[in-house]
Structure 1
Amino acid sequence: MNSQTRLQALSTFLKSQRAKILPQSVGLPAGTRRRTPGLRREEVAQLAGVSTTWYTWLEQGRDIKVSASVLDCIASALQLTFDERKYLYALALDTTLGVSLNQSIQPQISPALARILQELRHCPTIISDRKCDIVGWNQAASHVFLDFNQIAVEERNMIGLLFTRKEFQSLAVNWEHFVKGFLSIFRTYYGQYVEDEWYDHFIEEMSRSYPDFARLWNQSEVSTAPEVAVEFRHAKAGKMLFHLTSLQVQGSADLRCSIYTPAPETATEMKLNKLMEQDKKLPNHIDFGST
């Protein structure tokens, strides 16, 4: 991400967060002459204890000197979550948060993680890297989503598949809610790896090819582990309800484990078991860095 793109991303983020805050929620009168939702710039500056001019420059994406202590005040004024704060700091301070960007290192799944993936027999599970490229999955995921073995390695990007594959679009009852959960995770990576221009190229290409992506990307939140309850309408099994748990895998490889747990007191697990009994040929897939 070059400097201009980074500052533009910072500007967009600050504006969107400011628009979310109701004046009355921070002790300010709602007023009747507000042309836009949320707080005014001068009100954010007042709450943060900085000058209106300085905050205006920051929000406009000007290349100005910023300190972590002042960002703390801005984050508090905008009521940012922990993940949103990290995103703000990464963009404003132009830091990769100490993470190496060595592109030659391929993500690897450890034997222990591979065992976990295999043991989660009745929970569709996907392992993805920091670009949301899918590097591993289990049999349950192949039955509920699609057989990822039939997709070329370079096309196994979860964000891309959500927009290119009709299977995903018809599977999720609330497709937009489903997509936003992944985009909120993807945005944390976007802020974390501010020096990697791959993200800018990917977002530009997706926005150009899929108008819905551009719209949902602009609406997306920032979260490393969004709580998502999803309802699927499976072509063979019918209605299935899952709770998505997204876990960051500890280790040198920046991997994420997305586990879909069948909702309790539903027939989801029974339907999944029946699906898997009907076709036992779909294997687990574990990528040990061959891609």
Structure 2
Amino acid sequence: MDLSAELSEFLRSRRARLKPQDVGLPEFGRHRRVPGLRREELAQLAGVSVAYYTRLEQGNGRNVSMEVLDAIARALRLSDTERAHLTHLARPTVKKRQRAISRPQQVRPGLAQLLDAMESVPALVVGRRMDVLAWNRMARALFGDFPAWEPRDRNMARMVFLDANARDLYVDWECKAVEVVSVLRLCAGLYPDDPELMALVGELSVRSEEFRSLWAAHTVTDKGHGRKRLRHPLVGEMTLQYESLKVSGDDPDLVLVTYHAEPGSPAADALRLLAQWGVDEPVDVPGDAQQGVRKDAPK
């Protein structure tokens, strides 16, 4: 990925979403030739010269200071995640990034055992490309038969955009799609030289018009917490809380994602019913010993 082009497009997209009245500037004239703020208006808000900001928006982030980036981030009203993304694009840490993508992501045995012990809570370990690296029995019951999928298909982005079942599973599919693309965009800023990540983005861009449109919006977000409305074919619709927890250790890009229901809610009853599904089957741990192709998996 071309970081200069990404920096340019990200700054333009963030500037275009702001209007003069949003930042306390007067809006003269009934028609403006550009959407959002003009470059000179943004430069004025950030306290930098128009020429300097123009060079930065053209992708020339060499030697830009953190003070200037912080000023521009404040002027653009960036979120903490967007501010971090801007920093990754303008001041990439090449050596650290190259070391990270050269190592395959693995789930240590202790973490796999923790997943097994979470008998009533669906839980997944997700990697930097949104690969599902490990799961427990409840996650398999909730999201699908991971062991039966090809390893490359165990990916949340492929699942959301290429598996028709995902549109039934996620009641608010459009929100989930935006979230997935925003997380991938953040990952791409961190690891622009990751060939597997770029191949994933390329594949989804070719095969999904919706992905292409969302990718062009340059939204970024980190895995966090919140609610998901799911419609399961066995237990019906339920609203679950999810938490995304960074896994400590050698790989900072592993995230443990858990799902739970409010006590006493219909969703809690649905999870208990779902827990009985396949209760006599062995718990799934990471590994590709079982191979096969899910009939409705992404192709």
Same fold (TM over 0.5): yes
Separation in 1 of the partners of 2:27 and 2:118? 51
Moved more, 159-168 or 221-230: 221-230
1:174 has 2:172 as partner: yes
- Letter of the 1:128 partner, please give it: V
Task: Report 1:1-291 matches (<5 A).
Answer: 1=1, 5-31=2-28, 32-62=30-60, 64-96=62-94, 98-219=96-217, 221-253=219-251, 254-287=253-286
SS at match of 1:219: coil
CA contact (8 A) 2:123 2:135 kept: yes
Whole-angstrom distance in 1 between the partners of 2:118 and 2:288: 21
1:164-192 Cα offsets, whole Å, 9 max, x none, are 21221211111010122222222221111
The one-letter code matched in structure 2 to 1:28 is: L
Partner SS state of residue 286, structure 1? coil
Structure 2: stretches of 5+ with no match in the other structure = 290-299
Q: Deviations over 1:213-253 (max 9, x none)?
A: 11122336322234432111111111111122112212112
Distance 1:13 1:103, change over 3 A: closer
How many residue pairs match? The answer is 288
Percent identity for Structure 1 against Structure 2 = 35
Secondary structure at 2:134's aligned position in 1?
strand
- Rounded to whole Å, the distance in 2 between the matches of 1:65 and 1:104 is 27
Secondary structure at 2:238 match in 1: strand
Deviation string for 1:247-275 (max 9, x for gaps)?
22121122111112224552112112212
CA shift in 2, pair 1:272/1:220, >3 Å: farther
Cα 1:131/1:178, change in 2 over 3 Å: same
Instruction: Report the Cα offset of residue 98 of structure 1.
Output: 3.3
The code of the aligned residue for 2:13 comes to: S
**Paired amino acid for 1:154:** R
- Report the aligned-residue RMSD: 2.5
Q: Give the distance between the partners of 2:94 and 2:257, measured in 1 at CA.
A: 24
